[in-house]
């Protein structure tokens, strides 16, 4: 009986299960038939709207800034070279790398013994030449006196000859006396000739003495210059560089000793492209003397100064392009020759233009503007200048329009957008920084909550408590605390 009862119960449960499965299958099949009998339903399509940042364009006058890189140079550099060889017996104080020297200061003295000896010899030779000149002048004066005496004696001899000839013609004198008078006159004429030759020799001696005197004076000047060359003076005030001499060392003629650099007379040399160079010319084709700003970045600290373009290189240079320009610096404190600097050149101002982010202009030089019904339109604008992350474009076709500042592949003509202007962001930022004046009860409740909060870090707790002690508390801080308090 027991077995039969259990068998009947199992059979009943099996029949019930099979019935339930059949009923479930029938219900599922009926649901499918009902679904198949219904018409196909297409959900309503919704247009996608993109949020974009926009800026309203206004025409203005902008001065473009051309950025280039250059090297600082000194406009005055003097090489110190030894004009005479010898041993260095004296160096100026501070004659070392980076030492400061003043104009006219004695820098180096070379042993002058050899030069002084040559100077003494030249002076002696000059004294001897002067003495020889004086002796030649006296000799000339004596020769002229001898000529005068000889001419007088010749005159007397001629008169004696004439008298003897007169006596002989009257038969009183003899022929022998006449001959003796003629011989005496001839001897006197010979004496006059000899005196003239002596004068010529004396004059030639004077000429030779003048030549010798000039030569001695030239030798003396050279010897004095040789002594002066043993002392080297600073031509202008500046700083020493590349010092290559020590006291007691031997130097040769024309050996390089050091270099003086005028750190107060600096200029910057920088290269620009040909198109950039053309924008710096005036109507006559010459450089317009544009103002420049020179920046030197030294571990995050910028040194800056101003200057003016003064000249350009005469030739481009082999393997180079563009133009090499030079700008004189006004006040170059902290700058040194060799510094690599950034040069900003102010170009002529542009009228009726707008400054836009570079991301607003596409590769085809077009911008997207928000038109009617907040749909995008495309306008072509040529790029006049590039200013780091911005561009300068004509504002004629964009005045008053809202231009998309950041383009993306998802944006195009006809796309509906939701414009976000910087003014809205500023308003939200102002709302975030809104300040509240708390009542004593409200302030005490907030302070008690912060002091009782065990999970807040000590630094954050001190900072919030310091804010709550101020007369005006940021509204955002108050709202955040009250939200955590639950009221």
Domains of the chain with bracketed CATH: 114-228 (1.10.287.620), 350-429 (2.40.420), 433-485 (no CATH)
In terms of Cβ atoms closer than 10 Å to its own Cβ (0-12, 13-18, 19+), residue 240 is buried
In this predicted structure, what is the pLDDT of residue 196? 85
CB atoms within 10 A of CB 331: 11
pLDDT at 330: 86
Q: Taking a C-beta distance cutoff of 8 angstroms, is the pair 65, 345 a contact? A: yes
Distances in whole angstroms, Cα of residue 46 to Cα of each of 42, 49, 372, 377, 416: 12, 9, 19, 21, 12
Q: What's 174-203 look like in SS3?
A: CHHHHHHHHHHHHHHHHHHHHHHHHHHHHH
Can you give the pLDDT at residue 247?
A: 85
pLDDT of residue 327: 92
DSSP 3-state of 315? coil
Cα 148 off chain centre by: 82
Task: Give pLDDT tens digits for 5-32.
Answer: 777 777 778 888 888 888 888 888 888 7
pLDDT tens string 179-194: 787 788 788 888 888 8
Q: What angle do CA 328, 333, 338 make, to 5 degrees?
A: 65
Q: Are strands 106-110 and 231-233 parallel, antiparallel or unpaired?
A: antiparallel
- pTM of the predicted model, to two decimals? 0.56
Positions in the chain short of pLDDT 50: 41, 425-432
> What pLDDT, on a 0 to 100 scale, did the predictor assign at position 445?
85
Determine the pLDDT at residue 427.
47
């Amino acid at each position: 009986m027991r077995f039969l009862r259990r068998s009947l119960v199992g059979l009943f449960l099996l029949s019930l299960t099979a019935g339930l499965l059949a009923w479930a299958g029938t219900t599922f099949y009926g649901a499918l038939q009902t679904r198949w009998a219904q018409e196909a339903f297409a959900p309503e399509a919704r247009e996608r709207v993109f949020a974009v940042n926009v800026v309203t364009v206004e025409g203005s006058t902008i001065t473009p800034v051309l950025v280039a890189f250059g090297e600082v140079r000194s406009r005055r550099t003097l090489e110190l070279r030894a004009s005479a060889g010898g041993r260095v017996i004296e160096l100026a104080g501070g004659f070392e790398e980076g030492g400061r020297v003043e104009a006219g200061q004695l820098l180096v003295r070379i042993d002058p013994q050899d030069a002084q000896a040559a100077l003494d010899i030249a002076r002696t030779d000059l004294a001897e030449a002067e003495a020889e000149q004086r002796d030649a002048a006296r000799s000339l004066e004596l020769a002229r006196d001898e000529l005068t005496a000889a001419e007088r004696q010749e005159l007397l001899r001629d008169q004696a000859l004439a008298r003897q000839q007169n006596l002989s013609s009257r038969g009183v004198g003899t022929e022998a006396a006449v001959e003796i008078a003629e011989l005496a006159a001839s001897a006197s004429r010979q004496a006059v000739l000899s005196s003239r030759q002596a004068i010529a020799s004396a004059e030639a001696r004077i000429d030779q003495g003048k030549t010798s005197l000039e030569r001695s004076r030239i030798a003396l000047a050279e010897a004095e210059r040789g002594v002066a060359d043993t002392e080297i003076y600073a031509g202008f005030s500046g700083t020493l560089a590349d010092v290559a001499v020590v006291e007691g060392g031997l130097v040769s003629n024309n050996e390089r000793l050091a270099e003086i650099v005028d750190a107060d007379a600096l200029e910057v040399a920088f290269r620009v492209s040909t198109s950039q160079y053309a924008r710096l010319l005036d109507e006559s084709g010459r450089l317009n003397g544009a103002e420049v700003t020179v920046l030197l970045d030294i571990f995050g600290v910028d040194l800056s100064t101003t200057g003016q373009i003064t000249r350009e290189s005469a030739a481009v240079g082999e393997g180079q392009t563009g133009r090499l320009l030079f700008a004189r610096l006004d006040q170059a404190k902290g700058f040194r020759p060799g510094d690599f600097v950034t040069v900003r050149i102010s170009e002529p101002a542009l009228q009726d233009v707008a400054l836009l982010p570079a991301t607003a202009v596409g590769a085809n030089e077009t911008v997207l503007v928000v038109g009617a019904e907040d749909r995008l339109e495309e306008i072509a604008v040529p790029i006049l200048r590039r200013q780091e992350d911005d561009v300068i474009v004509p504002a004629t076709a964009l005045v008053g329009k809202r231009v998309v500042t950041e383009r993306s592949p998802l944006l195009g003509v006809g796309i509906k957008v939701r414009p976000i202007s910087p003014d809205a962001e500023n308003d939200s930022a102002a709302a975030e920084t809104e300040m509240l004046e708390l009542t004593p009860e409200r302030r005490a409740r907030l302070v008690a909550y912060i002091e009782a909060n065990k999970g807040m870090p000590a630094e954050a707790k001190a900072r919030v408590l310091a804010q709550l002690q101020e007369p005006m508390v940021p509204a955002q801080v108050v709202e955040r605390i009250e939200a955590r308090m639950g009221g």
